[in-house]
Each structure stands twice: as structure tokens, then as C-alpha cells.
């Protein structure tokens, strides 16, 4: 049995909390807004990571010869790895959200 989704609208008369039952259409709109926001963050993070390869990778597929010495991100390894981790976190959150495991 699905749980009732309630939004606390603040304090009502006599300092009692009032609740509003949210319609399925509102839940769907909220779900789409949250999902869209997290996915946009993931895409922005991916773009940051992809930009690190510019100059080392041509046309998105060929690795330039000077990369033989090894890849070194312009932003530095700690920040680069943080971006990779952030991308994973965003994708994992959206997956759990879509599966109803939030």
C-alpha cells in the first residue's frame, strides 16, 4: 500500500501544523523537476570532465601523441576525481529516485 505524501504548509491556527494532500499530478511535476535538476547537474559535471580531455583527444575519438607521457588533468587530480565522484553521485541519486528508493 503506497504511503500518503503530505506537505507541511506551516503553522496554522492555534500553532497547529496543517497538512496538504498532494495530488498525483503535483507529485509527478515535483518528481520531474527534481530529476531534471539532478540530471542537469550530472550533464554539467560531464561537460567539465570532457573539457579536461580537450587538446588531448581530437574529434572525440583520437588520442594525440603527446599524451604518451600520461594524462594530467588541467584542474589537478583531486578536483578531477571529485568531478568523477560527483557525476556518479548524481546518476546514482536519479536511479534511486526513479526506482522509488529515495
- The pLDDT, as a whole number, for residue 7 is 60
Distance CA 27, CA 5 (A): 8
Partnered with residue 62 across adjacent β-strands are 58
Indicate the pTM of the whole model: 0.69
- The pLDDT, as a whole number, for residue 1 is 46
- The pLDDT, as a whole number, for residue 16 is 67
Query: What does the block give as the cell for 26?
Result: 503535483
Q: What is the largest CA-CA distance in the chain?
A: 74
Judge whether 47 and 34 are in contact, CB under 8 Å. no
Note down pLDDT in tens along the chain; length 102 residues.
456 666 655 555 556 667 888 899 999 999 999 999 999 999 999 999 988 887 776 666 677 777 777 778 889 999 999 999 999 999 999 999 998 875
Partnered with residue 8 across adjacent β-strands are 19
Amino acid at each position: 500500500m503506497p504511503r500518503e505524501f503530505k506537505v507541511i504548509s506551516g503553522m496554522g491556527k492555534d500553532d497547529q501544523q496543517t497538512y496538504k494532500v498532494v495530488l498525483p499530478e503535483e507529485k509527478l511535476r515535483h518528481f520531474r523537476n527534481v530529476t531534471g535538476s539532478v540530471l542537469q547537474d550530472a550533464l554539467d559535471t560531464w561537460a567539465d570532465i570532457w573539457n579536461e580531455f580537450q587538446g588531448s583527444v581530437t574529434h572525440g575519438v583520437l588520442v594525440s601523441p603527446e599524451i604518451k607521457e600520461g594524462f594530467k588533468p588541467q584542474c589537478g587530480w583531486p578536483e578531477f576525481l571529485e568531478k568523477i565522484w560527483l557525476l556518479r553521485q548524481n546518476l546514482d541519486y536519479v536511479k534511486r529516485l526513479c526506482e522509488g528508493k529515495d
